Chain A
């Protein structure tokens, strides 16, 4: 049992960047735009967040810088796709490739620098045996991501703005004819997505590792993209999926240390295998996906035609 608490704690820690990024991408996609640049945005935010923290000494400022750098890249993406009508998939891929190169270049001088990892905890709660270690000694950003998840559920289902956002994703031309500015709403959604990916990237370099090294996001941006589909565009399922993916990775290490005779390579494969499996299962019941999938996902909208 003693091994269970750190396992849970690590799984939550590993799942948090996935959840942050996936929640942002979910909002993007609810507005009808798919941004494949998440990996690139996370990388740039990771290095900028790290550099800013190193110079300013404040992790909070680092997170802010990470979020802003994600928003800048997302804003650029929005200009290209929403205003100039560039292909979303191609632009997103370009953004990811650009982010990988740019972050490596910016980060040359920060390789090998490290931040002091802090100790966090919620007073009283952290002293509960087992649960305290498992749940209440995490970085504040972990709890923020949970609040964010709840806020997004409320926003999408209970607010007028959420309804408008979903309308834009379902049928931009109807929303347009009702007098909503589709391009601005999509810009806002993309900026929010950029900020979330930025926070996720900064979480990687400030809390998870905590250090900067080239390509440290290591595919988590792509996993976050898969996660939105895996969760069939439902925030609560994003939360479950993120912890599940985080948990599988951590479980592989614990099983190895316990001497379970299973090839580590096989275990490394599991998160991806799980994604494919769940996708297959969901696809068997097409209505699950169709009900939630924004109808105009990936399609550009030009209000002047």
Chain B
């Protein structure tokens, strides 16, 4: 990872008796797309709101380039709420100019930038439309343009692709990847684990305010407790028991899925399988983020 630009350091937040976040930490560097994955109530929105200065953490803090985020910095953050932050009664160009104006952009300049973005994303026709008439893809794209218009130094996006089509999601992530490549850290939340897994460089998995796993994507998806699928048609049941630290977790005919503990050697498993006769399959399985979320301990 490049040097951390945004550091979320052991943040905790309670709403009365409800723990929204418990000692959650996350770092994001320039050029990184960082995802916060979790189901409803996991604490994703609370975390983003704290980063955007909309909520105050009970403990812990957020640092930007090693310093606490000041009020002046908040205006340079591009924050997109889950609902989009658009006024249904406005025309698209007026809405974009208004959002630019909130960040100090001159009306003409805001209109110019809005036109550039709409043209670039193939949404020129939206200039004649009202926000209230847009479909989900169009609304999400307009919301993203509104967030990008002031050229923010940090992007905080709450469920930016909720309800979007695959095409729309591809468009959004094309833009976000470009922003990241230009040095703008992107922190986004989603309840779609596959989206975070396949589109983000780094992620935090939250469940009921508790961080289950945090790290770069290869670390999160790599097998700590590895899974291996083996199809050995000549083997007798329980053939893998000879390998220390190996446990069978699934059986489908002659195909078994084995879980290997830290001390188990996958080469020893392969040798044991070959010792039974033919081996038709020997596959190292990856564990998805969703699987990690759904497992009891998050391992």
Do these two chains interact? no
Q: Which residue numbers of A lie inside 8 Å of B, CB to CB?
A: none
B contact set with A: CB distance below 8 Å: none
